[in-house]
């Protein structure tokens, strides 16, 4: 069996979901030929840079433009007007990716981004490939761009996501509620006292983890300044070097500053709550660790939709002002029974075994010519 796992390098979540699937399949089955491909690596230079750098610039500096684009592409009367010109433009700009899929014609294409799903489904409708197409919706809500005729299966993050897909006209038998695939390291639980010693923090002290994605967006400095005298704080600045340097220069007590990390699961393992952006992957990782999320700086559109989805399960806590963040954190610190209640809600929606279950679907359900 040949499997191509594909994504687009616009936002870290799509890559992480694709990597989780690719690494798990590669580890589990030596007889399967599996390849990880970024659709944008096979796009022309202008399109690739506009897609990646343009996305990060707009969500960071001009979120109102992103909100408008999200709304207009979600609005049903405009969909038919937008859909086909977008498909044509995308196909022209990523034709090397389309040619690659035609040449390889894999048994299965697992896509963690709507762009690669769109191109694969178009090729299948055009009878240029015969692949089975599995689309992983990497958010808890569903934007119409995720929907492509020719897709054989949609992997949904939750029952809420499934219902959204059905409402958009997707047949229920094409939807599998498995969750968003995350790395298997989030299944590991290390003793908290050992992790606390590793990070140089106090075991038993209420701990807040702050991480807002690869861009380090949000009022992180203000949050730290407001909370450091009340709780223990771990801050992940990721690729935001300026934020890292400014926080390090403050030399706050009870605060540990990190740059880019690959052991976020360990940091989650010592935290009581996480202050984060409501990206689908961040949510899935936090919930798998039974970590209470407090959401800030939500991107209009998909991240706001994720909050709506989690509110359905009694999990979503959004704070738009520093004073509200402080109130929520201290309320949890002083009332641990409230943490316990939300963790019970988390147990109803978390799906930490998504990647294993997806692998089982591929191997056991008859997907693929070689299965």
Q: Distance (Å, rounded) from C-alpha 134 to C-alpha 124? A: 12
Q: Reading across the β-sheet that carries 255-258, which strands appear in turn?
A: 255-258, 232-236, 207-211, 273-276, 292-295
Residues 60 and 217 sit within 8 Å (Cβ to Cβ): yes
Q: How many of the other CB atoms lie within 10 Å of CB of 68?
A: 13
Cα-Cα-Cα-Cα dihedral sign, residues 265, 267, 273, 274: negative
Give strand pairing partners of 64. Answer: none
Per-residue model confidence (pLDDT) at position 271:
97
Cα-Cα-Cα-Cα dihedral sign, residues 303, 134, 27, 288: positive
Per-residue model confidence (pLDDT) at position 100:
97
Task: Give pTM, 2 decimals.
Answer: 0.90
**Domain spans, the chain:** 2-182+352-364, 187-349
Q: Which CATH class is domain 2-182+352-364?
A: alpha beta
2-182+352-364 and 187-349 in the same fold: yes
pLDDT tens, per residue, the chain with 371 residues: 899 999 999 878 899 999 999 999 999 978 889 999 999 999 999 899 888 777 777 777 777 787 787 777 777 777 777 887 888 999 999 999 999 999 999 999 999 999 999 999 999 999 999 999 999 999 999 998 999 999 999 999 999 999 999 999 999 999 999 999 999 999 999 999 999 999 999 999 999 999 986 666 778 999 999 999 999 999 999 888 999 999 999 999 999 999 989 999 999 999 999 999 999 999 999 999 999 999 998 888 889 999 999 999 999 899 989 999 999 999 999 999 999 999 999 999 999 999 999 999 998 765 544 33
In order, the DSSP letters of 237-290 are -TT-HHHHHHHHHH--TTEEEESS-S-HHHHHHH-SEEEE---HHHHHHHHHTT
Q: CATH number of 187-349: 3.30.420.40, 3.40.50.2000, 3.40.50.720, 1.20.1070.10? A: 3.40.50.2000
Residues 292 and 339 sit within 8 Å (Cβ to Cβ): yes
């Amino acid at each position: 069996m040949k499997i191509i796992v594909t994504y687009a390098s616009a936002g870290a979540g799509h890559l992480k979901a694709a990597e989780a699937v690719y690494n798990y399949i590669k580890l589990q089955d030596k007889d399967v030929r599996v390849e990880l491909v970024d659709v944008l690596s096979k796009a022309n230079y202008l399109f690739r840079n506009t897609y990646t750098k343009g996305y990060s610039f707009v969500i960071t500096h001009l979120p109102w433009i992103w909100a408008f684009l999200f709304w207009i592409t979600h609005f049903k009367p405009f969909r038919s007007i937008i859909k086909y010109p977008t498909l044509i433009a995308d196909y022209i700009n990523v034709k090397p990716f389309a040619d690659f899929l035609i040449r390889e014609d894999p048994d299965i294409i697992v896509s963690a981004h709507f762009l690669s799903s769109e191109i694969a489904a178009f090729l299948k409708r055009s009878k240029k490939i015969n692949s089975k197409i599995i689309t992983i919706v990497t958010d808890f809500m569903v934007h119409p761009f995720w929907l492509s005729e020719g897709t054989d299966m949609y992997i949904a993050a939750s029952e809420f996501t499934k219902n959204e897909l059905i409402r958009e006209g997707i047949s229920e038998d094409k939807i599998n509620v498995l969750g968003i695939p995350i790395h298997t390291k989030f299944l590991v639980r290390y003793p908290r006292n050992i992790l606390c010693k590793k990070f140089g923090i106090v075991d038993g002290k209420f701990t807040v983890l702050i991480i807002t994605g690869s861009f380090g967006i949000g009022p992180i400095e203000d949050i730290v300044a407001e909370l450091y005298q009340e709780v223990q704080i771990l801050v992940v600045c990721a690729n935001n070097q300026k934020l890292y340097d400014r926080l390090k220069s403050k030399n706050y007590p009870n605060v540990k500053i990190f740059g880019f990390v690959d052991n976020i699961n360990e940091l989650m393992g010592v935290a009581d709550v996480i202050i984060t952006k409501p990206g689908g992957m961040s949510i899935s990782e936090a919930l798998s660790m039974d970590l209470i999320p407090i959401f800030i700086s939500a991107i209009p559109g998909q991240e706001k939709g994720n909050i709506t989805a989690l509110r359905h399960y009694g999990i979503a806590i959004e704070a738009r002002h520093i004073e509200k963040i402080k109130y929520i954190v201290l309320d949890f610190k002083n009332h641990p029974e409230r943490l316990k209640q939300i963790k019970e809600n988390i147990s109803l929606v978390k799906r930490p075994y998504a990647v294993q279950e997806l692998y089982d679907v591929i191997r056991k359900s008859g997907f693929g010519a070689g299965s």
